[in-house]
Amino acid sequence: MTDEEAKSYGILVKKIYSTLKQETGAERIYSLVTIEGVPHFHEHFFPRTSDSPAKGMKLITLNCACDEADAILLVSRLRGKFQ
């Protein structure tokens, strides 16, 4: 990653965190980055709300998710913030 890419990545992650907190009511946003040796990476974001069943790494390892309709609604709201 070049310095310019790192700078723009940091700015984007900050916006993702604040937007996810606003749209989900999350107290915290956790993220997990995976890099498999290919020149790209994946970042996963986990909103933690006040009623989340766990905190920290335990939350990330739980098998919990919203239903499809809620996911579609959230994605449409997020899309409007990033276009």
For residue range 1-18, list pLDDT tens digits in order: 789 998 999 999 999 999
For residue range 42-62, list pLDDT tens digits in order: 999 999 999 988 898 898 888
Categorize the per-residue pLDDT at 70 as very low, low, confident or very high, splitting at 50, 70 and 90.
very high
Residue 28 three-state SS: strand
| pTM, two decimal places | 0.80
Residue 59 three-state SS: helix
Residue bearing tokens 């940091």? 10
Q: What is the dihedral of CA 12, 22, 68, 10, to 10 degrees?
A: 10
What angle in degrees, to the nearest 10, is found between the helix axes of 3-24 and 68-82?
130
What is the per-residue pLDDT for 26?
Answer: 95
Quick one: tokens of 66? 């919203």
Taking the C-alpha atoms of residue 62 and residue 33, their distance in angstroms, rounded to an integer, is 17
